[in-house]
């Protein structure tokens, strides 16, 4: 067999293998993802803990709300999850909405600590209070003082909403709820879920 013939056979085999791989990939992407759809299109209204607003979600919304608070100049903070993972961290996620009708920059949310000076317009000043364990937890940061949290680069335009996350050391397993607070917002009582 000549070298030229061997190269042609290798190219043909490579083309067949690539085509088969692409066909399997496309077939694997189809379908509904194995998820089950609920026949009930209207979730029940959620009552959010004290200090928070009662929130009715629209039937089209699948968002889960643990707490929602309003403060400052009509700024709304919604907490969607607080998940404790096996690594000893608690990650809080949600959304911040600027309802002030003008541009808003959350510069004061970065906190007062000198170490956090490089985290302007972020969730760096957020904290969790565990009333059961009588402890306050601050946002985690790396060795250069950067918070493990969202930075709101460019601030918020009027009526703009942005997602956020903030990561904390996890309270003990016995603690099932904490108060989340940032800046001038009222504290939001949130339940902790267990992650993996």
What is the model's pLDDT at position 83? Answer: 95
Average pLDDT over residues 80-102: 94
* Spatial CB neighbours of 20, under 8 Å, sequence gap ≥ 6: none
Least confident of 49-58, 102-111, 171-180: 49-58
In the predicted model, is pLDDT for residue 12 greater than 90?
Answer: no
What is the model's pLDDT at position 134? Answer: 92
In the predicted model, is pLDDT for residue 158 greater than 80?
Answer: yes
Q: Largest Cα–Cα distance in the chain?
A: 82
pLDDT band at 11; cut points 50, 70, 90: low
What is the model's pLDDT at position 63? Answer: 60
Structure tokens at 183: 């800046």
């Amino acid at each position: 067999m000549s070298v030229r013939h061997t190269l042609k056979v290798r190219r043909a085999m490579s083309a067949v293998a690539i085509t088969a791989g692409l066909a399997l990939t496309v077939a694997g992407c189809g379908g509904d993802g194995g998820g089950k759809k609920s026949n009930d299109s209207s979730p029940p209204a959620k009552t959010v803990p004290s200090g928070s607003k009662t929130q009715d979600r629209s039937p089209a919304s699948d968002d889960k709300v643990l707490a929602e608070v309003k403060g400052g100049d009509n700024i709304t903070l919604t907490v969607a999850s607080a998940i404790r993972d096996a690594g000893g961290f608690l990650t809080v996620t949600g959304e911040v909405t600027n309802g002030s009708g003008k541009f808003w920059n959350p510069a004061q949310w970065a906190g007062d600590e000198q170490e956090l000076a490089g985290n302007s317009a972020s969730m760096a000043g957020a904290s969790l209070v565990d009333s059961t364990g009588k402890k306050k937890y601050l946002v985690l940061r790396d060795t250069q003082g950067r918070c493990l949290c969202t930075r709101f680069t460019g601030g918020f335009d009027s009526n703009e909403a942005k997602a956020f996350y903030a990561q904390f050391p996890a309270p003990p397993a016995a603690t099932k709820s904490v108060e989340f607070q940032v800046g001038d917002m009222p504290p939001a009582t949130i339940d902790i879920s267990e992650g993996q």
